[in-house]
A and B are shown apart, each in its own frame.
Chain A
Amino acid sequence: MTVQNRQIEVLRYDPERDETPRFETFTVPCKEEWVVLDALTYIKDELDPSLTFRWSCHMAVCGSCGMQVDNKPTLSCKAFVRDYGEKIRVEPLANFPIERDLVISQDDFMEKLQRGRPWIIPEQKREVEDGPYVQTPMQLDDIKEHTMCINCLLCYAACPVYALERDFVGPAALTLMYRYNADSRDAGWDERREVFAGHGGVWECSFVGACSDVCPKHVEPATAIQKGKMDSAVDYFTRFLMPGGGK
């Protein structure tokens, strides 16, 4: 097991002491197989217990540990130090307000997530006695990648539209809405239309595509949103141009 010193340059911000954020550099003896998160826990345990960041699973599935690593939104538990240079810069995720050090405020996302009504809205109430719905592997495959979102918010940090237009519902929340709209068990399009296709919805997206690039779970938010635009266009035409609103 080889150990190599690396300079970890971390953005620090303690609202009780710092007017603005500042950088602090730590020298960390990193083991070969370490991820950036390991280096941060080392700093916290051995050098400075006040360093503040979120983490839990250490296996890239809980979505806690998103950060900018060398200026790219990344899960720090899956960012191997061996893939970086001698100096690694770690900052909180872009576009979000910084609570403290590497911890950002997630309130805006949580509010938008809920606004999107991300739950099955069935055509008819179904009882346990009715058994599971029939859903073919192909119907599942239609939504599969879009169900994989871990809410790590890397996509929001990569999205220039979200950076400029704070009303934008954003990649992850819109993808989740698409995932429910497109689920064979769901009939909730009408209830979600306003948020999905109205102000701040899919049409706000200009298809830069960086969200899909940084997504650690290949959720393809960019694709979901474009597909959502298509659905929204079809919905528009059927409602306004077809006799009887397309019903």
Chain B
Amino acid sequence: MARRPYPQEVDRFKWWIADPHFNRPYYLDYIARESTCIFIALYTILFVWGLGALASGPEAFAGFMGAMQSGWGLALQLVILAFALYHTVTWFMLAPQGMKPLRMKNGKRVPATRVMQVLYGAFAAATVVTLLLVWVLLP
């Protein structure tokens, strides 16, 4: 009798639940990282809505602001902020692994921790600048 290779297939929908024993749950992490981008998209929708309202006149914009400042509106934004932060942090963690090595003057590679530090630094700086702008510009 001859060979009869036995195929090993995975379930198209449930593969990420049956996580093998890696050092950390890569499949779950991946699903979490990718699915949180939905919240980024959601915020973009809010933002476009706001812009549209602004263009349609002060009344419409007031209505938009009202909705945003309501209890539900604030809760939604907080949730979005939390997931957006998670999404950002997970990508920061991946960044050093996904780019060509930066080199120092002596040719040595810039260590991954330094890359992360720069990313977080830039993130913090951008946040501060945004808050400052808001503080200066808001009446």
Q: Which residues of A are in contact with B by a Cβ distance under 8 Å? A: 13, 15-16, 20-21, 68, 70-73, 92, 94-100, 105, 137-138, 141-142, 158, 160, 163-164, 206-210, 212-214, 220, 222-223, 226-227, 230
Contacts and interface: CB of A to CB of B under 8 A. Distances in A.
A215 B26 CA distance: 14
Most buried by B among A71, A209, A214: A209
Interface string B1-27: 111111111101001100011111011
B30 A206 contact: yes
A38 B23 CA distance: 24
A74 B7 CA distance: 20
A156 B17 CA distance: 18
A97 to B, nearest CB: 4
Contacts, number: 93
A164 B30 CA distance: 15
Interface string B93-111: 0100111110100010100
A209 B97 contact: yes
A100 B15 CA distance: 24
A15 B26 contact: no
Contact of A230 (B8, B21, B94, B99): B99
Given A16-B1, A164-B12, A213 B98 contact: no
* Interface pairs A-B: 3 shortest CB-CB: A226-B98, A97-B5, A15-B4
Given A94-B20, A160-B15, A226 B99 contact: yes
B101 to A, nearest CB: 8
